Chain A
Amino acid sequence: MSTPTPIYLDNNATTACDPKVVEAMLPYFTEQFGNASSMHSFGNKVGVALKAARTKVQKLLGAEFDSEIVFTSCGTESDSTAILSALKAQPDRKEIITTVVEHPAVLSLCEQLEKEGYTIHRLKVDNKGGLNLDDYAKVLSDKVAVVSVMWANNETGTYFPVVEMAEMANAAGVLFHTDAVQAVGKIDINLAATKIDMLSVSGHKLHAPKGIGVLYVRRAVRFRPLLRGGHQERGRRAGTENAPSIIGLGVAAELAMEAMEHERTYVKALRDKLEAGILAVVPHAFVTGNPDNRLPNTANIAFEYIEGEAILMLLNKQGIAASSGSACTSGSLEPSHVMRAMGIPYTAAHGTVRFSLSRYTTEEEIERVITAVPPIVAQLRKLSPYWGENGPVADPEKAFAPAYA
């Protein structure tokens, strides 16, 4: 059996490095290996390239000054730096506002801070993954050190109204941070026109390499570094710069701006075609999150009465790469916290599959996936105790009520 050409629809997990990015990086491993801090010409050339990359990232984010861009090692470091900086800079404020559907980079940190005595307000979401801003307004106070709310959810792509929430925080005198790793590069962002104080970026989500991130810190926002040491990044993030990756990210930022229109129109159309194509044929399946307010590249579909890992394994056999919110794919106890927070029933949350497209995705690939999915779902449903001859058994929860251990 010949292996089918792979189709990569897991771009919210990570993306392929753009060849142009790699090309731009290569000289900085060999002939341009200097340390940007050095006085000689080896270092100087790297310093100039870093400055150019910083400007490109500044443009992508619509930041007012290039000095607002701090290069870090990843999105997680940016998130940790932002939140811990806010706490350090305002030792009298012991509360944090976040949401129940954040990425573990924020949630796990908050759990740890809770153990250390901080109060964490976790805003709940409705069944479409939306927030109630009245709830938010109620907890905003001068005891809050920072609000950390993601721009777009990694699993469903659903947006949070971060621009509006930043305005509210600003009015209340509270710092506002957003984890925008899924949004940056896919949608227009103009930070200068917002009240967002800090924003996290992850390079590998926008066709730059892994191991490079950005923390945007608005000018004059009080800041305390996570890593102290050398004067790199104006003392806000010590440690020798990851020059090749920063330069790669600069190119990726440029390419993302060029592809933004394509992302918003073509990629979105492919995503919509994929969803419509699958839902037209597969019964008992639905889109999770808010279909009218989300990233153009993300489709998250719940297939009821079957389990996600099994779906992924069968997809993978046909060369199709996607991801799932099922407990089994992560080795954790529970299905995705995002699905549970939206009140998706267990038997559906386990069967969620996320297809995340990129600017490289083609129509032919989408057509192949639309053809591949229905038989896989049917095959697994035939094995499912919740499924009868031609549909779910009558009253599935009662007909099959296992003793859980």
Chain B
Amino acid sequence: MWDYTEKVKEHFYNPRNTGPLEGANATGDVGSISCGDALRLMLKVDPVTEIIQDAHFQTFGCGSAIASSSALTEMVKGMTLDEAKQISNQDIADFLDGLPPEKMHCSVMGREALHAAIANYRGEEWSDDHEEGALVCKCFAVDSQMIEDTIRANKLSTVEEVTNYTKAGGGCSTCHEPIEEILTKVMAERGETFVPAGAKKAKPAVAEAAPAKLGTLARIRKIEEVIAAVRPTLLADRGDIELVDIEGKNILVNLSGACSGCQMEAATLAGIQTKMIEALGEFVRVVPAAKAQAHACASHAHGG
């Protein structure tokens, strides 16, 4: 069973604005190839102000597809078409307090239906800008098509590069096998052979010796460097990270914005932790400062 939020369940059990819409003057019919779900979004747009007066949907799909559709109709009512066009699939997911990574494509379908309906209203031809493939990276919801296109466009040849470009494989790392398979396939197209990095990367001496050599200041600088290096990726997702404190092996950070409390938080931290460990050459934990403080408070309470 999927781990749906209460809001997803609520919108599924009691969907808003269902069925055909009387007087609709904009319709978007889209489907998601990745699961076979399909959605018809109907809008009633004021021709003068371009304000969406009413929105209805019909959906052939799973629980989260129905919930995403219902959420979308609630979100767009009262918006102008230009405002509505700014809605991203993440906004739809956020409205529902998040969707499981496997189900993010339901929110993508919602955004596409909206764009299709707006194009329909304006008499334009809508065509989707991407194809979707099988979900590969569950931590960051990256599908095979996205990985394949990115490898092709950027001539990538290692899993590490794929992670840097798409984030895929940057979390729990269990999807490295399928990523290697995609690399093998795409590299063969350009006449190259994929060479795996080796079962375990040979990183001897340096990693072994590093902890002893790194002084306190150098260690802090290194930690700051890693934080600085990951920030752009987080900012791109409308999140941020800040270093709070270093307590021995524990590196306390604050995640904010879209990152905090998001379903990817644990994966994000795990990814950063991996980078930290690589950079420092020692085992460390990256923990949210809030949690660490909560623990401290709890133990104080017990102690007092």
Contact = CB atoms under 8 A, between A and B. Distances in A.
Q: Do A and B come from one complex?
A: yes
Instruction: Tell me whether chain B's interface is mostly helix, strand or loop, or mixed.
Output: mixed
B102 to A, nearest CB: 4
Contacts of A347: 60
Contacts of A404: 30-33, 38
Given A332-B134, A405-B132, A385 B30 contact: no
A350 interface: yes
A383 B33 contact: no
Nearest to B106: A328
Contact of B62 (A326, A386, A403): A326
A310 interface: yes
Contacts of A360: none
Contact of A385 (B33, B39, B108, B133): B39
B134 A328 contact: no
Contact of B30 (A326, A335, A402): A402
Nearest to A316: B1
A334 B108 CA distance: 18
A381 to B, nearest CB: 10
B36 A327 contact: yes
B40 A400 contact: yes
Contacts, number: 103
Interface stretch (A166-174, A285-293, A301-309): A301-309
B36 A346 contact: yes
A4 interface: no
A326 B65 CA distance: 13
A382 B18 contact: yes
A329 B128 CA distance: 25
Sort chain B's interface into a size bin: 35 or more
A7 to B, nearest CB: 16
Contacts of B103: 328
A313 interface: yes
Contacts of B40: 385, 400, 402
Contacts of B102: 331
A401 interface: yes
A384 B62 CA distance: 11
A39 interface: no
Interface string A391-405: 000000000111111
A333 interface: yes
A317 interface: yes
A384 B128 CA distance: 22
B34 A333 contact: yes
Interface string B85-119: 00000000000000000110000110010001000
B59 interface: yes
Nearest to B4: A313
Interface string B30-57: 1111111111100000000000000001
A305 B60 contact: yes
Interface in A345-384: 346-347, 350, 382-384
Interface string B62-75: 11111000000000
| Residue in B19, B39, B60, B134 whose Cβ sees the most chain A Cβ within 10 Å | B60
Nearest to A313: B63
A384 B38 CA distance: 9
A31 B51 CA distance: 75
A403 B36 CA distance: 11
B128 A403 contact: yes
B300 interface: no
B29 A403 contact: yes
A332 B103 CA distance: 10
Given A306-B60, A328-B62, A331-B102, A402 B38 contact: yes
A314 B103 CA distance: 18
Given A384-B58, A405-B132, A307 B32 contact: no
Of the listed residues B29, B30, B133, the one surrounded by the most CB atoms of chain A closer than 10 A to its CB is: B29
Given A333-B34, A385-B39, A405-B131, 16 more contacts: A305-B60, A307-B62, A308-B62, A310-B12, A313-B63, A326-B36, A333-B35, A334-B36, A347-B60, A350-B60, A382-B19, A383-B66, A384-B59, A400-B60, A401-B29, A405-B109
List the 7 shortest-distance A-B pairs measured between CB atoms, nearest first: A405-B128, A328-B62, A309-B62, A402-B31, A385-B58, A331-B102, A402-B29
Interface of B: 1, 9, 12-13, 15, 18-19, 29-40, 57-66, 102-103, 108-109, 112, 116, 126-128, 130-135
Interface of A: 305-310, 313-314, 316-317, 326-329, 331-335, 346-347, 350, 382-386, 400-405
16 contacts: A307-B60, A309-B62, A313-B12, A313-B63, A316-B1, A326-B36, A328-B62, A328-B63, A328-B65, A331-B135, A350-B36, A385-B60, A386-B60, A400-B38, A400-B60, A405-B112
